[in-house]
Amino acid sequence: MHRFFYLFLVIPFVSGCIKSDATTDFVLVAYNVENLFDIDGVAIYNDYKQDEADDPYTYTRRKLLTKLINARRTLAHFNSGIGPEIVLFQEFEADFTPQSTTMSSEEFLLKYSGLSVESMLTDGWQTQFADISSVHWLLKALDDIGISGYHVVSCPAKPIEDNMAHTNAIFSKFPIRWSKSHRLHRARDIIEAELDINGHGLVVYCNHWKSGASNPNMENIRVQNAQVLHRLVQAQLSNNPQADIIIGGDLNSHYNHSSIFADLKTGINDVLGADGDETFQSSQWYNFWYELPIELRYSEVWRGRRGSLMHLISSRGLYDNQGISYIDGSFNHLILPEINADIIGRPLEWNFAGTQGGGTSDHFPVFAHFSTRAFASTSEFSLGEHTPSVEIPHSVVGHPAVGSLKEGAFLSRLSEDDYGDYVGRLYRVEATIVQMNPLMIRVGGVLWSAHAVERELMGPNGLQSYLENNDGEVELVIRLNIYRGRKQLLIDAIL
């Protein structure tokens, strides 16, 4: 049920599960870890091939370690540090050297129980570690800090000529009764699995549909992806109309996709039928994004607009008095300032800068709490009436957090080896515009290449007016960025 509270940055309720002989409460997360690749050097994406040792932006063992640390810092915010019970993951690298996957997760953790990922990827490196899959690397990183007890299922890599770099995975602290993978056209296989929640079955679908949410030409592929999923869930519902089902993951579709692209047949809304009707009168599937006010319905910010590509979608069975139930009002996105988000609530996406890299993911995780208790409503049902037809802007301009930005002249004194932790973060600087085309500014006595994020900044009332009327002196909001292997400052706003 929707909660119309108004907050900026949300560090949501993520307290520990409650278990007794009678009930079990747990949290389920959908998390796109953004290109979590292994280090065998066999990769579809050039950025991860590790074939240019003299390139400071190449992928390395140390950069993998940063990815693992930042992912586990994110997951450690659930259940007081012991992590969520269930995670539906997207964007693990498909393992093209799968020798290590012959070991079960338990065997793998036992084999390396005397080592930490920090030692394995630094001073304790052994060449055999190159064969470890990205799924096992994260499993080990989590286990090292007590986020443990997971059963794991993932999809095997498709032939490399299929050009499918990623795979999905499910981590579950509950037993996995069975699992199947289902092939999609030009997208990652769906994982269908039934989990045993203290004797109750929960069927989950881990998805990563075709990319290009803002590209209408890609929607016909997502329609095909949705058709496969629709057939699978209908088969479950034909056996049990009250089946407890969660559809989760990165659908590369907004919750309101058919409202934004009114002339298109959409996968998520028209084929699958997910909507905001919590009474299940108009559809069999309720999208939990409707639990939040409109301005908080986002898991990405792309080109200044909020997106809602990450989803948890519920069957009506999670609203009854048997089996598994949704804990009303518990859905949210996980926004952690300085860990996976900048100061205005945009994802800190991964970057290759410096010796360690930096950032976490270009998507925020989404999560919800569930229980073996009967469903208990706490407010009126959503009917889906609050559905905007546009992507909501998310801008620096006018944002209240801008007033507390740190001064960023120190960026000009940083060694490039240390850039990773600072890329993508917002700072306030006193700058001098040196020239407009190409745009060059001086900050902290150092000349920087710059790029204005908004076109208006380059207009006559923008930076040009400061060059002509103020000797180029201007106070700016900027971000450190790496573009095609070169450093630059992105200008987000004039103060």
For the stretch 324-358, pLDDT in tens is 999 999 999 999 999 999 999 999 999 999 999 99
Asked if residue 17 has pLDDT above 60, the reply is: no
And the tokens for 218?
């890609």
List alpha helices for 112-218, DSSP H.
Answer: 117-120, 134-144
Taking the CA atoms of the chain, what radius of gyration do you get in angstroms? 23
- Residue 5 scores a pLDDT above 50: no
Q: Please give the full DSSP string across 56-81, using - where no structure is assigned.
A: TTS--HHHHHHHHHHHHHHHTTTGGG
Partners of 358 in the beta sheet? 351
Give 3's pLDDT tier (boundaries 50, 70, 90): very low
Separation in Å, CA 245 to CA 113, 241, 313: 35, 10, 8
CA 430/CA 473 separation, integer angstroms: 7
Lowest mean pLDDT among 7-16, 145-154, 218-227: 7-16
400-494 belongs to CATH 2.40.50: yes
CA-to-CA distance for 413 and 448, rounded, in angstroms?
12
Three-state secondary-structure class, residue 420: helix
Residue 38 has pLDDT above 50, yes or no: yes
Contact (CB, 8 A) for 430 and 475 = yes
pLDDT band at 51 (very low <50, low <70, confident <90, very high): confident
Which strands make up the sheet holding 245-250, listed edge to edge? 176-184, 187-197, 200-208, 245-250, 310-314, 285-287, 274-275
Return d(Cα 386, Cα 329) in angstroms, integer: 16
Inter-residue contact 272 to 286 (CB < 8 Å): no
pLDDT in tens, 195-248: 999 999 999 999 999 999 999 999 999 999 999 999 999 999 999 999 999 999
Residue 99: predicted pLDDT: 66
Which residues does residue 313 pair with via DSSP β-bridges, in sequence order? 247, 287
Q: Nearest 5°: phi and psi at 369? A: -105, 145
In this model, does residue 45 exceed pLDDT 50? yes
Three-state secondary structure call for residue 181: strand
Would you say 298 and 256 are in contact if contact means Cβ atoms under 8 Å apart? no
Q: Where in the chain is the domain with CATH 2.40.50?
A: 400-494
Say yes or no to pLDDT of 268 above 60. Answer: yes
The conformation of residue 217, written as its DSSP 8-state character, comes to G
Instruction: Give dist(CA 75, CA 143) in Å, integer.
Output: 12
Does the pLDDT of residue 359 top 80, yes or no? yes
> Domain 25-371 maps to which CATH number in 3.40.50.10490, 3.60.10.10, 3.30.310.40, 3.40.50.970?
3.60.10.10
Query: What are the start and end residues of each CATH 3.60.10.10 domain in the chain?
Result: 25-371
Q: Chain-centre distance of CA 449, in angstroms? A: 30
pLDDT digits (tens, 9 = 90+) for 380-406: 999 999 999 999 999 999 999 999 999
pLDDT of 6 > 60? The answer is no
Residues 83, 31 contacting (CB under 8 angstroms): no
